[in-house]
Amino acid sequence: MPAPSSCTLTLKTIPNAPRDEIVGWLGAALKVKVRAPALDGRANDALLAFLSGKLGVPRRALTLLHGDKSRQKVVRIAGLSVTEARARLNGA
């Protein structure tokens, strides 16, 4: 059996939201709101924890590649193809 693949996901994030939620796709980027403030990396941690739950992968499978201090982020997802990730995020 082949080794699990990995993919990257472009995100547009909104910190300090009333609740954690996936808003939808903006072209190739996924818009995600998180409750945590953009302070000391708390929003990034909350974002990765939220995504790991939605994707059904362990938190350690997600790595923030770009955008540590930006609303535009790129996350690497180990163990999923881009098709699988999009399907899980779309609720399929």
Residue-wise pLDDT tens digits, 29-57: 999 999 999 999 999 999 999 999 999 99
How far apart are alpha carbons 57 and 59 in whole angstroms?
Answer: 6
> Which pLDDT score, from 0 to 100, does residue 2 have?
53
**pLDDT tens for residues 17-31?**
999 999 999 999 999
- pLDDT for residue 66 is more than 90: yes
* CATH number of residue 34's parent domain: 3.30.1200.10
Q: How many domains does one find in the chain?
A: 1
Q: Is 1 a domain residue?
A: no
Range of the domain at 59: 6-89
Cα–Cα dist 22/12, whole Å: 10
Whether residue 73 lies inside any domain: the answer is: yes
Q: Quick check: is 25 in a domain?
A: yes
80 occurs within a structural domain: yes
- Residue 84, domain member (yes or no): yes
